Structure 1
Amino acid sequence: MRHFTELLTRLTIVLFFLFSLAATSGVAAQTTAGQLTTLAVELWPDYDRPAVLVLLTAELPAGTALPATVTIPLPGEADVNAVARFDDTGAMLSDVDYTTSAGQLTLTTPANRFRVEYYAPYEVAEEAYSFTFDWTADLDVAQMTVVVQQPLAATDMTITPTPTGTADRGDGLIYHTLAARPVGAGEPVTVRVAYTVEAPVLSAPSQALPAATGAATTTGEDTATGGATTATTGGFNPLWLLAIAGALGLLVVAWYLGQRQGRASRARKPQPTRPAKSKPAATAPKSTGDKAAGRFCHQCGQPALPEDVYCRNCGTQLKG
């Protein structure tokens, strides 16, 4: 029993070590990104709900160690809609871990290109609508572009800074593009938008929209349309396989040793002993000299003495 306990303890320690190594290996390999190659900002007010849908599509520099941790600003009233990354085929996968705290969103991406989508409120005063997009991050952005989608029912739209171009992407909506420029870490970027709406109407069409600027074509529906994205699990860590195999091995060894210990205990169990049956002692035959030997009353069967003439019990005259 002592050897079984020692072996079980050692196996438990090894298994705990494997689980700890598997759980911490991914964290230890993460790097904090301090630069973005491109950042495409799309501002879509009144698209599929009465709010501003903000789409941020970013790309990390080539050679960035992955997975990489990125922190971007997030308005306090923001409602996060999606955090995803793009694979090599351009499919958008929603398997990116993220947290939000104190006006920031921190994500860990296993790919160079990722997407963050959130809804932000705007201000409404009768028919006047307005909102402000602010960006100040501890990131150097080599090239940042901002595109504002004009709501379907909007008139008298003003954008500050003034857009450098206007285009129609074929979905019946107008897109205003601001000049692309580099943005340094800690440098603020502010875009103000105001427009008038007499009868509020959402812009979202019944069919899926084209991908946003800087975003690759996805295999499923874009998250901006409220559709599903292709979801996969994160990269497989082989240490988990070792940990699982160790757990199974531990269970098998414990079962085997338990069975062996049980058989050994049953083998050592003493069998109950039964006392040997003793033969009854042989009785010596009565001697012919016994007083009652050979004489009985033929009437009542009582023994009689040799000299008796009558039975002492019933009084019958004895024969012989």
Structure 2
Amino acid sequence: MKRKYFFLLIFLALILPGAGHTQDVKAIDSLTVEFWPDYDRASVLVLLTGTLPVNTKLPASVTLPFPETAQLNAVARIDDTDGIMKNDIFYSHAPGEIIFITPDLRFRLEYYFPYAANNNQRTFDFTWLADLSVKRFQLKVQQPASAISLTTVPPTKNMLRGEDGLTYYAFPVQSVSAGQSFSVNVAYTMTTAKLSVESLAPANTNVQEPGLPSTLKADEGINWPIVAVVMAGIILVIVFVWLTITRRASFNRQITHDAKAKKKSPANFCRKCGKPAAKADRFCSNCGSSLEGRA
């Protein structure tokens, strides 16, 4: 029985180091950053859709830059089985960065940040600077439905019409090293204050809508790797305590048995032949010697 629990302890010792380990991502395979100004709110909706390298050990911890003036909209994983965004992952954010743990290679981060407005003129700046490298990095800007004369710095001539009928400005795909910054300035003129979502046809179901607001925050999300460590630790403690109690009880039983055996042992014996004798005996029943002065 003890051998059985000994092997259980070895098994737990082996799985504990890996149960709570999450790989800190140092590189992203692809990342697309889209800007949707005046889409469903009078601000800029930013959508970051990324894919981790195929050799990434999951679950993985991802740290991305997060503007201090930004308002979080969604943190989600993109399920590899059905391609659906699911905002059931653990995350926490502090000024300047956001950290989340994903069990899938693909993820989505969404937030809003304000633009500068001067009458009908709108302008905003964005700078990418992170402690991780991106193999394929691309920026895209959605022109608001009510906007004209959209310009970008640096400029891009790659314009395309999306399935939603809106115009998109796409920058060339490039690699970005860790610590390398990339900045863009966007300016446009609004003809009316009408938001883009109000101009989209309801029947157009192919439009990729932004995700639902995230509900799992750092203080209420479930971090399954940590849960696994805690549960394994509890099991380990229970087994250790059980083995300690069992060993102590066995030791106490042995002491009691020895004490009883000693108590039952004859206190007198024949000094000549060593035969045990009762207290009332005067002569040895084995050799007949007198038991006077016996031990």
Query: What interval of TM-score do these two structures reach, taking the shorter chain for normalisation?
Result: 0.5 to 0.7
* Runs of 5+ unmatched residues, structure 1: 1-17, 213-221, 247-320
Q: 2:247 matched to which residue of 1?
A: none
1:47 aligns with 2:68: no
Q: 1:79 matched to which residue of 2?
A: 71
Q: Is the 1:38–1:142 contact (alpha carbons within 8 Å) kept by the matching residues of 2? A: yes
Q: CA deviation at 1:128?
A: 0.8
Q: CA deviation at 1:241?
A: 7.5
Distance 1:233 1:208 in 2: 35
Trace 1:125-144 onto structure 2 (pairs within 5 A).
125-144=118-137
Q: Is the 1:161–1:178 contact (alpha carbons within 8 Å) kept by the matching residues of 2? A: no
Q: CA deviation at 1:102?
A: 2.2
* Runs of 5+ unmatched residues, structure 2: 1-11, 216-220, 237-295
Trace 1:9-48 onto structure 2 (pairs within 5 A).
26=19, 28-48=20-40
Distance 1:116 1:208 in 2: 24
Residues 77, 69 of structure 1: CA spacing in aligned structure 2 closer, same or farther, 3 A cutoff?
Answer: same
- From the two aligned structures, give the one with the greater strand fraction: 2
Distance 1:126 1:39 in 2: 34
Q: Secondary structure at the match of 2:56?
A: coil
Distance 1:117 1:109 in 2: 15
Q: 2:196 matched to which residue of 1?
A: 203
1:223 aligns with 2:188: no
TM-score normalised to structure 2 length: 0.65
Deviations 1:140-186 (A, max 9, x none): 10010111000001111101121241111221210110111000001
Q: 1:318 matched to which residue of 2?
A: none
Q: Secondary structure at the match of 2:196?
A: coil
Q: 1:188 matched to which residue of 2?
A: 181
Q: 1:149 matched to which residue of 2?
A: 142
1:163 aligns with 2:156: yes
Residues 154, 209 of structure 1: CA spacing in aligned structure 2 closer, same or farther, 3 A cutoff?
Answer: farther
Q: CA deviation at 1:198?
A: 2.7
May I ask how many residue pairs the two structures share in their alignment? 217
Distance 1:228 1:137 in 2: 23
Q: Is the 2:62–2:100 contact (alpha carbons within 8 Å) kept by the matching residues of 1? A: yes
Q: Is the 1:96–1:107 contact (alpha carbons within 8 Å) kept by the matching residues of 2? A: yes
Trace 1:1-320 onto structure 2 (pairs within 5 A).
26=19, 28-88=20-80, 89-204=82-197, 205=200, 206=202, 210=206, 222-224=209-211
Farther-moved stretch of structure 1 (44-53 vs 85-94): 85-94
Q: CA deviation at 1:103?
A: 1.0
Q: Is the 2:33–2:139 contact (alpha carbons within 8 Å) kept by the matching residues of 1? A: yes
Q: 1:254 matched to which residue of 2?
A: none
Residues 239, 79 of structure 1: CA spacing in aligned structure 2 closer, same or farther, 3 A cutoff?
Answer: closer
Distance 2:205 2:67 in 1: 25
TM-score normalised to structure 1 length: 0.60
One-letter code aligned to 2:69? E
Residues 172, 245 of structure 1: CA spacing in aligned structure 2 closer, same or farther, 3 A cutoff?
Answer: same
Residues 209, 57 of structure 1: CA spacing in aligned structure 2 closer, same or farther, 3 A cutoff?
Answer: farther
One-letter code aligned to 1:54? V
CA RMSD of aligned residues (A): 3.2
Q: Is the 1:164–1:179 contact (alpha carbons within 8 Å) kept by the matching residues of 2? A: no
One-letter code aligned to 2:210? T
One-letter code aligned to 1:175? Y
Distance 1:199 1:104 in 2: 34
Q: Secondary structure at the match of 1:96?
A: coil
Q: CA deviation at 1:40?
A: 0.5
Q: Is the 2:77–2:89 contact (alpha carbons within 8 Å) kept by the matching residues of 1? A: yes
Q: 1:291 matched to which residue of 2?
A: none
Distance 1:99 1:238 in 2: 20
Q: 1:298 matched to which residue of 2?
A: none
